[in-house]
Amino acid sequence: MSNKIDRRKQYTKMVLKDGLIQLLKEKPISSVTVKELCELADVNRSTFYSHYKDPYDLLDKMGEEIVVDMTATLNSYNFKKEEEVLQMTEKILEYVATKSEICQVLLSEHGETAFKRRVMKLTQQIIMEKWLDDYHLRGKLSDYIPLLILSGSIEVIKNWLGNGRQESTAEMASLIHHFTNYGLTGFRS
């Protein structure tokens, strides 16, 4: 009996997430109502409220799932080895590609900026701190370097998703990795 209830809860959460994604393709989170989300997902309002406080709470939990998965992926690599950093970047992009619809919405102007901030904070904690130390870039401007690299990388990923992922994850990982390590000078022909 418990297994049946768990499956029902999982299904309910899935249809609510799918419904929110569909609505966020059309309008910002601030315009999404519980009523329209429940109608789209074919779920009672009381059922919605048994899982979430409001659409923002649902969106936040969706973003948190992505961050937890990304954290596990990032923590499984050794950032002292350059080839592992490239592999990690490719794995993150493969993950993002499998979750492209939700990632695209979370990174869009219709989503919440909290997701982008969480991804940047996570990446800075796990990767950038080590990178700054390795390249001896601590100092007055060191707070700006991760911001520049991470903001640019997130925008590249956002555009890649928006353009239908025409380039492979390996190509995108190489581009991000190369720019992060060598800047624009690494792209001269």
What digits encode the pLDDT tens for the residues 110-161? 877 788 888 877 777 766 656 555 555 555 556 677 778 788 888 999 999 9
- Which is nearest to 66 in space by CA: 38, 25, 40, 105? 105
In tens, the pLDDT along 55-100 reads: 999 999 999 999 898 888 877 776 666 667 788 888 889 999 999 9
Q: Which residue has the tokens 């499984």?
A: 76
pLDDT tens across 2-53, in order?
A: 666 688 899 999 999 999 999 999 999 999 999 999 999 999 999 999 999 9
What are the structure tokens assigned to 154, written together? 């997130």
| C-alpha to C-alpha distance for 20 and 63, rounded to whole angstroms | 12
- Is residue 46 within 8 A of residue 20, CB to CB? The reply is no
CATH T-level topology, domain 56-187 = Tetracycline Repressor; domain 2 (1.10.357)
Cβ atoms of 74 and 158 closer than 8 Å: no
Angle formed at CA 97 by CA 91 and CA 100, multiple of 5 degrees: 140
